Chain A
């Protein structure tokens, strides 16, 4: 059984480009209307770039799929104008528990710190996120989604690409200055460019099921090693909206994919786990997974994002989260390049920064998989040794790995100006700046990240000198008031401290005493002009 629900249906509509004698030229064509393609398109459109978004389907909602969205992703979604509906619908959680047999090995709390607008994590069916993104996209006049528009051919040129698009009414050509390939793990565009997608394939099979029931369980992530209801394997239980629970059961290497999806097999397993049969099955699927990536994410004017560029195991919720962070990294760079405000080589920093992030995610995901699905008798012994010792010792607790949950990457990048002063606090060069509760000029509460938004921004703590010029400047104590002292603490701020924040809210530079020439140079550097200006 493989229940698939098309929750939202969209229609194919003929567009003017199909009637033109020659291919219409667009600055950006995004291929694939999943979360990553939609975020890329919305971010670009918000930055004033006209975008065409193509998708070969005309509906969303085939299973809940990605369900965990991390704080940094929510901050990005907030900037894109879709966090509110997601938070409203989503299940907010921050506690995880790990069991061996029936015993609690340990519990963790993901966000012990107050003063962030966004929670550590929400769970939300992917189709709800996609729906919110499609609604947002529809509100942007310079973003056009074309459903049932399937790219069947790609001709790459130095200054762009020509795409041949198949529709229910036949083929047409499109010229794109830039193509964003967001067409998922089975990316057709990757195939059209003949690119290798290399990495590790894992043989263990997992059963994924969404179950509807009125549960007694709290909104926490529960993970079992070797539970009594599923001996010798692992199990995961996680709450979604609408009284739906995600269940993930390890089946082992030799499981029969077809048979395991039949109700005769699935229902008894779930009954055993839940202890009752007062539930209904919403969606079930059996999967294996890969950890692999493209060697390069940028191929001329074709840029790969999300699963099309890199694929991880689901442990750690690093798929959708890292994909949306790809979009966040790419959009401002592409927008500056298209507007002529940054050199084309700025795109290289997307490849560099997001390649490093992909390696980090693949590393975490591979190590989690090693722990959850040992491949040999000795690997299993080590795993069980760590689990047993975890009951007695703190060091072994830290080895227990049921998925290391997605965290944003800190970019070690030429776009950053290296620190010359020493800093404490949680703000780190190359990382997204931490949020903080502030007040505006009128004394109204405002979050720091809302104030920064998506523009290159200077944050300046005054010390008698006039405000900085150039990028948008926020003067602390004037434009924004650090009413709770949280900013000062997280940014280790003192009079004179000056910070330069990138359009994706990562910290590009900071000084104890910023000067106009330091800021000018750092601003050019973050836009990829490094080397032109000393």
Chain B
């Protein structure tokens, strides 16, 4: 079974990040949310592995937990 890749797989991460920013620039929050919803469905299908998607969801949820570490 495939596992979620968390090491960097992008040749140019800055460019990829920028592509996401550009896609949303000028959109209202509502339109951004609609765009993201479409993107998530498209990418989920592209991943094509339910277990990998579950891992991605878990990672995303985990990253939303409040950070206790006060040091910088």
Shortest CB-to-CB span from A178 to chain B, Å, is: 42
Total number of A-B contacts with CB less than 8 angstroms? 27
A29-55 near B? 1/0 per residue, CB < 8 Å? 000000000000000000000000000
Stretch with Cβ within 8 A of B (4 or more), from A88-96, A384-392, A401-409: A384-392
User: Across the two chains, which residue of chain B brings its CB closest to A396?
Assistant: B41
Question: What separation, in Å, do the CA atoms of A389 and B44 have in the docked complex?
Answer: 13
For residue B38, which residue of chain A has the nearest CB? Answer: A385
Assembled-state Cα–Cα distance A381/B42 (Å): 14
Chain B binding site: helix, strand, loop or mixed by DSSP? helix
Picked from A381, A395, A396, A399, the residue with its CB within 8 Å of the CB of B34 is: A381
Tell me if B51 is interfacial: C-beta within 8 Å of chain A.
no
Residues 337-389 of A at the B interface (beta carbon under 8 Å): 377-378, 381-382, 384-386, 388-389
Determine if A381 and B37 form an interchain contact, defined as CB atoms under 8 angstroms apart.
Answer: yes
Interface residues on chain A, size class: 10 to 19
Query: Within the assembled complex, what's the spacing in Å between the Cα atoms of A42 and B38?
Result: 51
Q: Are A389 and B34 in contact (CB under 8 A)?
A: no
Interface size range of chain B in the complex: under 10
Query: Which residues on the A side are within 8 Å of B54 (C-beta)?
Result: none
Report if B45 contacts A (CB, 8 A): yes
The residues of B that contact A382 with a CB separation of less than 8 Å are 37, 40-41
- A388 vs B31: C-alpha distance when bound (angstroms): 14
Let me know if B38 and A389 touch, CB within 8 A.
Answer: yes
Docked CA distance A386–B45 (Å): 11
Which A residues are CB-close (under 8 A) to B40? 382, 385
Cα A395 to Cα B40 in complex, Å, equals 13
Interface centre among A377, A378, A386, A395 (most CB of B within 10 A): A395
Residues of B within 8 A of A395 (CB): 45
Residue from A381, A393, A399 whose CB has the most chain B CB atoms within 10 Å: A381
Q: Fill in one digit per residue for B18-40: 1 if any A CB lies within 8 Å of its CB, else 0.
A: 00000000000000011001101
- CB atoms of B41 and A389 under 8 A apart: yes
Instruction: Give the distance to chain B from A62, nearest Cβ to Cβ, in Å.
Output: 42
Report whether B41 and A399 are in contact in the complex, using a CB–CB cutoff of 8 Å: yes
Asked if A385 and B37 make an inter-chain contact with CB atoms under 8 angstroms apart, the answer reads: yes
A→B interface (CB under 8 Å): 377-378, 381-382, 384-386, 388-389, 393, 395-396, 399
- Chain B interfacial positions (CB closer than 8 Å to A): 33-34, 37-38, 40-42, 45
Top 8 closest A-B pairs, CB basis?
Answer: A385-B37, A395-B45, A381-B37, A385-B38, A382-B37, A385-B41, A381-B34, A381-B33
Given A381-B33, A381-B37, A393-B42, list of 7 further CB < 8 A pairs? A382-B40, A384-B34, A385-B34, A385-B38, A388-B38, A389-B41, A393-B45
Q: Could you jot down 8 A-B contacts, CB within 8 Å?
A: A378-B33, A381-B33, A381-B37, A382-B41, A384-B37, A385-B40, A389-B38, A389-B41
